[in-house]
Structure 1
């Protein structure tokens, strides 16, 4: 069973055990935490003093009230059981500002990813209109997810400044059936796109009205989702859009279909740019070869930058731990 532990940063002291105090935590308002709340089978909540307050199961009533997420969804029901409109309402009051993203990603340190912003491959992808797909590849432990979190942060900041750009992302996880399939990836990306550009919902509504919610059931969802996504990417009102998928190698269901879709669609629209990451798998490389405007960024070829980034992150975490526990220099 998957487990993930969270500290409710603004809940402290004996009063933390009250349900109303738990509900006041800003953790429930952060955009990043929605995926973790739904995807993980066990979420345990702690006060600032690391006193356990309960878990997703024992506090399900409080969690349901503060998030508006139905009990069945919190208990692991397939998200296809809930309409697109209902799922969009789950994120209406969530914020994804830059400081919050840093908090929920474990205190993301800029020095741990800034090197990539000056990397030739990244700059080619970012600045060249013809370079529409960036594949970041590397062996396990190279920090691919940390790198993508940093890139997402930077793109979100630039999107706020530009006021027209859209950033949509998805993190695959092989051990959770709800986020390890090609269908889940398209659902997740589409979900964020429609939330940020509501006019795109017309493409979803058109097929939903024609066939009902069964069109999005797991067994039959891939084809209509591909059609909807294709229509969205062709929509003339679509603004500059960044689509990011982390850990393609952890997509265990219909990965070839997903790779073929990304390779094809990466050349379909001049206002859409993709970033994907994965391990160095020949299957993934072979499928992505179909893309006409791609750039590779190998972490093995940037070993020095990766090593420095990881060390910076470790040093920062150790420094914070020392400050928190008031260690002296010899310690």
Structure 2
């Protein structure tokens, strides 16, 4: 693959080149990983700084409908929008449906929008392992806003906050009371809570849910990266496109305040450090799948299953073998 040519085409906002580059960074092959690293290094410092918006919520809350309506509103304002949608992978077959482009039919046809569904491949935290690298490629391709839609698995889905500038949590009407709102985890990460489906018969319930969560947010500890009034809860209707402009204005207000106060750059620097350590962790885990360590892992696993050795002793033996293997290399 000609990395220099691929780089030039991405900088010229070639959508096919962007799609090919994302496929490259998502590949697990050793030669592809080397080429991906070369490409990302060649693109570093180019393109523009997009607003990265992470979006989470339980299945059925209307994430895809919201993203389509929200994305269409942004492209109508002349902004270029990239959507990175992470789809859950089957625990049995490993496959994914990747049907987000089908759900976002109008947005997928918009020339100012780019939608890329990716499988989670059992990566925890609601995002794919290489989503952050895909974000960097979208920024190099000149997109103004990058939306990261997570799998939607619940309160543990917080990794997206380590790759986004703003984190939105989408809730359904009647999704919980004030006590549910003060639970730790994803609530502590959210910058704006959007209660979707605030229309028709669900409007009263949506308003009550919004009031409950607004009260809950006031009970959470104040974060240094928030101006007065944030985090906040709002109602929206993705179906009727109500409240979307107001939500976008609040996002811009928060982003501008963080830029002016230095929190924006500090957060991005902390995120880069987080992903450095994550790469090291993943590389160490990958070593468990190679050579004599892999064979030992299976053997000790069988012994643990037969009750011949405790899990703690077996783990200690494998770690010692890993250290010996490292000494040889």
TM-score computed with the length of structure 2 as normaliser: 0.26
Question: Could you state the TM-score of these two structures normalised by the residue count of structure 1?
Answer: 0.25
For the pair shown, which has the larger CA radius of gyration, 1 or 2?
A: 2
RCO comparison, higher one (Cα < 8 Å, 6+):
1
